[in-house]
Structures are given as C-alpha cells and as structure tokens.
Chain A
C-alpha cells in the first residue's frame, strides 16, 4: 500500500516548500508572493485540527496544533512588509524553507525527523542571515543532538543521550534568540526556530517519560537548565546597560518555558506552552513596531511580565506551581522574574528617536498590534477551544 500517505497535515510544510521552489524565479513579485505563501501556510496550520492523522513522518497531534499556528503567525508577520528588499535572489526561498522546516520539526512524528527538520532550519536560517555565529555553532549543536539521537536509537540508557539532546537543542534555541530586532529574516529565525527547538525538547521529555516518578527525578535537568538560563539572562539585563532587551528578555522567557517544562505535570506544561506562544507574539510585536512608539512601549511591558499582558498571568501561575514543587526552586525563579520586570521598567521612558525622512506606512505596524492584542487576549480570556487544545497538548506523554 502507500508507505508515505500525504494528508492535509502535510499542507503547512508543503506550501512553504512550494514557495521556496517558486519564489527565486518570481523576480519583483517575490516579496508579495512570499507574504501570500506565508498567509496560506498560517491558514493551513489553523486547519490542522480538521486533519485526520494518516501515519507517516508528520503527525498533527495537539502539541503540533498549538505550536504550528504560532510559527505560521511568525512567518506571516515577518513577511508582512513587502517593501523591504529581500536578501539576494535566494532570500525569499530560504525564508520559506526556514518556515517549512520549523513547521516540519513541530509536526514530526519521530525524533529523527525532528532532527532532520531542525538541521534544514539551522542551515537555511544561517544562510539567510549570513550569520556564522548561527551557522557554525548551530551545526555543532546539531551534531551533539545527532549523537544523542543515535545513542537513543542504539538502545543506550537515556541519561547521556538526553543530556546531549538537551544541550544540542537548547544551544540552537539560544543561538536563534540572539538575533537582534529588525529585519524580517531575523524576526523569522528568532521567532520560529526557538518554538521548534522547545517543542522538540517537550516531545523528548515525553519520550523519556521525563515526568515519570523516577529517582533521581529526570525533570531536574530541564528545571535547572531553565532556571540557569533565566537567571543568567536577568543578570545580563540588570548589569549591562548596553544589553539588547529583545535578545536577553527572549532568552529569559525561554528559560521560564524550560523551567515550566521541568516542573512537570499538566498545569505547568500548559502554562509553559502558553508562555512560549505569548512571548513569541510579544517579541514579534517589538520586531514589527517600526516607528510606533506606543506599540514598542506596550511590547516592552508585555515582555517585562507586566499586566495586562498574558505573560504576567502565565509567569505568576508558573511561580505558584514552582512554589508547590519546591521553595528552593521557587525563590531563585521569583528573583529571575522580578529582575526581568525591573529591567523592562528601567527602559522607560524611551529616549527620543531622530526624525526619519519617510515614515513607514500606517499598515506597517498592523501585524505588531495584532500580535500584542493576541498576547493580551491569550492571557486574560483564553477561548475555550484553545484552552482545551492547550491542556490536551500538555497531557501528551
């Protein structure tokens, strides 16, 4: 029979792949066509709940249904400003390839497929940005993860394999997050790649029965790594006045998400996933702020865990769950969160910007406002179907 059934769950990957193949040949209309492909991809990710799983390398489970639309939205917002000049002839194609690969990583039914998809994403992202500091250490991290995957497939005890996988995918997440604000390519890589890497880590937690009652507790590495990343990023934000807030607050948010995965249990995992989605939206709002000062200030407040944005709710809930887990963990976790809040407040009021010759069109900041509105809505009034999907994703083994 058919060994590789192609169902609707393949559309979110196939559409950007088609875009990657077609866009280099479209010349001047490549940028608007890239936006069209990104919008179609977002629609395909939103249609995932209607797909019937048919087996094969991709699987539209609840976790994929939560993470894929986030990546789809990143792609659409990043592709929004079609007037920006694409990087080289292959730029629009590589942009779509990063989108396809990150979506394939969250939809992957197998850790080996996830590794392959993330490899393509790192190679395409590093080439797109022409960034040696993403490409070279990123490939080293992929080799670490490959070693871990092979050890796991070879039937080795999970400890070392998981440590290597955690180091590899954790490093990819951090390398992607260090992209500074500005530019659609940086927004795509810094938005989509960390979501894909964290989604892969969550699936590995399930494979290894990370949350199972084992001694010593296997959730400890995730919790400690998350806490370490949060504290290190908060320390940099407090101590270095020239630190890029978008970069370091993004790294701190990733630390919070990892720590949430490490706390384990359905509630903490659901809150960590929601935190990941909202943090990605808030970072996108900063990247899409253009000259809108109000949007920029609002996005900074959102990333600084301040109300009324969703990260305030998820961080507080995670802190409550951490307290229930262990006060020894909760105390430094709370210190990291407070440092993040303080560093965001220190940025305000924003210094005046030199006037520009031509202000961007008012529609340029529209996706930023959309992201910010979603960042508020998801925290304050999560719609019931989304809540049910989130809890289902958090309960996956």
Chain B
C-alpha cells in the first residue's frame, strides 16, 4: 500500500488528476485499517475513518471543484527523482524502507507545491505531503504526549488542510507583492 502511495505521489507530480490523490488517500486509509485490525486499536480505526473521509474523499472532491492547473513539465521529474533519492539516502531507523517511502511521499508533496502554478495545484501538493506525514503514523509506533493517538495527529493534519483549502476556495491571492526598496 505504501508503494501505491509513492507511485501516486510520482504521478501527481506530472498529472493534474485528483483521482490519483483520492487513490493515495484510500491507500492510506487501508493501511490504517490494517493497523487497526493488527493491533485491535479503536484509535487506528478512527484514524482510518478520518483518512477515508478527509484524504480520500473530501480533499480530492474540493480540489476537483476548484480546478487544478496542469503541471509544469520541465525538470519536474528530475526534482521528483531527487526527492526519492534524498529519502532513500536518509539514515532512517527500522523499518527503513517503509519510512523512506513515507519521507519520499512527504518530499514529493513539497515538490508538487513548489512546481505548480495556482493555489489549487499547490494545495494538492499539501494534501499529498499530509498523506506522507500520516503514513508515518501507520508505520512507526509513536508515543505521543498526554496519551494522544494517531487519530489526533490525523485530525491536526486535516485541520491544516481544511484551513488551506478554505482559503483557496475563498480565492486567496497567490501573486507575490511587488517588492519595493525601503523609503
């Protein structure tokens, strides 16, 4: 499933199809369901539900309505390759390969954000990066403070994305302000 998520991230780098983003979110939800079954954890089950609703359904639906612009082709694949190479080369603990995939999805999300024109396309990169951060929760057992679980982190990610998507839907201007020398 994490391989599917990585493939989706690479495809998102060059395509504008939000269906791929929905597939990535669904793969994340399935991974979290798998963890919920393995550990018998209600927290992971709730996290899976959040991922299915937020990452696989709601975020792609909002982005589809906003209209994502086509990707820049020049040099994008090279940048994607660099992201994957950095993730592979990073000295990560066990399970190393799975963590490298999560890091690669996160970095590829950042690459999508950096290379897209238009705030909707950039927001798509953020959702992809959010999937990468959430993937880590399904891979690495994390002891969060105050007994918080994976679902709390996923809720925080969804909140970040919700604020961004609502700002994009509101029409937040993406052009940089004209720089002016002081005085």
Contacts and interface: CB of A to CB of B under 8 A. Distances in A.
Interface of A: 110, 112-113, 116, 119, 123, 126-127, 130-133, 135-137, 139-140, 142-144, 146-147, 150-151, 153-157, 159-160, 180-181, 241-247, 286, 296, 300, 347, 350-351, 353
A347 B183 contact: yes
A119 B179 contact: no
B125 to A, nearest CB: 7
Interface stretch (B15-23, B36-44, B169-177): B169-177
B181 A242 contact: yes
7 contacts: A136-B126, A146-B157, A153-B143, A154-B141, A160-B91, A180-B179, A286-B182
A154 B140 contact: yes
Contacts, number: 133
B70 to A, nearest CB: 18
Contact of A151 (B140, B144, B156): B140
Contact of A132 (B92, B106, B143, B172): B172
Given A132-B122, A150-B153, A154-B136, 13 more contacts: A110-B145, A112-B144, A130-B167, A132-B119, A132-B167, A139-B160, A140-B126, A144-B110, A146-B156, A147-B136, A155-B93, A156-B140, A353-B183
A180 B160 CA distance: 25
A243 B182 CA distance: 8
| Residue from the set B102, B113, B172 with the largest chain A CB neighbour count within 10 Å | B172
B13 interface: no
B149 to A, nearest CB: 12
B160 A150 contact: no
B119 A143 contact: no
Interface majority SS (helix, strand, loop, mixed), chain B: helix
Interface of B: 90-93, 99, 102-103, 106, 109-110, 113, 119, 122-123, 125-126, 129-130, 132-133, 136-137, 140-145, 153, 156-157, 160-161, 163-164, 167-168, 172-174, 176-177, 179-183
B173 A130 contact: yes
A244 B183 CA distance: 9
Contact of A242 (B99, B113, B129, B179): B179
A136 B182 contact: no
B90 A160 contact: yes
A126 B174 CA distance: 12
B182 A127 contact: no
B93 A132 contact: no
B113 A137 contact: yes
Query: Which of A131, A146, A159 counts the most chain B CB atoms within 10 A?
Result: A146
B117 to A, nearest CB: 12
A351 B183 contact: yes
A30 B183 CA distance: 31
A169 B156 CA distance: 17
A296 to B, nearest CB: 6
A123 B145 CA distance: 23
B125 A140 contact: yes
A305 to B, nearest CB: 16
A154 B142 contact: yes
Given A143-B160, A160-B92, A180 B177 contact: yes
Contacts of B156: 116, 119, 146
A392 to B, nearest CB: 26
Nearest to B174: A132
Contact of A244 (B119, B122, B145, B181): B181
A33 B99 CA distance: 49
A150 B122 contact: no
A147 B99 CA distance: 10
A161 to B, nearest CB: 10
Given A143-B126, A147-B136, A154-B140, A296 B183 contact: yes
Nearest to B139: A154
A159 B90 CA distance: 9
Contacts of A181: 182
Contact of A146 (B110, B153, B172, B176): B153
A66 B130 CA distance: 34
A140 B109 contact: yes
Which 4 A/B pairs are nearest by Cβ-Cβ distance?
A245-B182, A154-B140, A132-B174, A350-B183
B164 A136 contact: yes
B157 A112 contact: no
A143 B93 contact: no
A245 B181 contact: yes
B145 A112 contact: yes
